[in-house]
Amino acid sequence: TVKRSEDGTPALVMPYVRTPSQCAATLIRLLEDEPSEVFAIVCLNTKLRVLAYHEVSRGSLDSSLAHPREVFRAAILANAAGIILVHNHPSGDPSPSPDDVALTQRLRAAGSLLGIDVLDHLVIGDGQYYSFKETGHWS
């Protein structure tokens, strides 16, 4: 699904992604007030132009399912060269959980097999974000 504005038209997430902070600023506005956990992806071409924003799943207060098949289906259909993973923490604390770290590693491995780079994973909470890439959490 595509995030829609109040009048029902598709909301432009951002034309290009240059930095994690730029991407996070837009995604904070989209996700910070969600009452449940939302897992989404931003699909990008080789020049980091945004092709699509896709909501993969909605979960409960503290979890959301994100199976590689569901994550990469939208990326493949958008002909994406890379994706940015994003999800919110309704608790407001953007610190990643051990499950977040494991999921990120799993999705990076799946992306590698498919030829779709996972460029970052942003966790949004209370006007803040955690970037796996910025913090060196890529292992």
The 10s digit of each residue's pLDDT in 63-97 is 567 889 999 999 999 999 999 999 999 999 999 99
pLDDT at 32: 82
Rounded average pLDDT over 21-39: 89
Q: Mean pLDDT across the stretch 55-68? A: 76
pLDDT at 24 over 50: yes
C-alpha–C-alpha distance, residues 87 and 115, integer Å: 22
At 56 the pLDDT is 93
Taking the model in full, what pTM does it have?
0.87
User: What is the average per-residue pLDDT within 87-111?
Assistant: 94
Identify the three-state secondary structure at position 56: strand
What is the token pair recorded at 83? Answer: 């994706």
Question: ∠ CA(109), CA(112), CA(118), 5° rounding?
Answer: 80
Closest CA to 24 of 138, 119, 113, 105: 119
If we measure between CA atoms, which residue out of 33, 46, 113, 134 comes closest to residue 83? 46
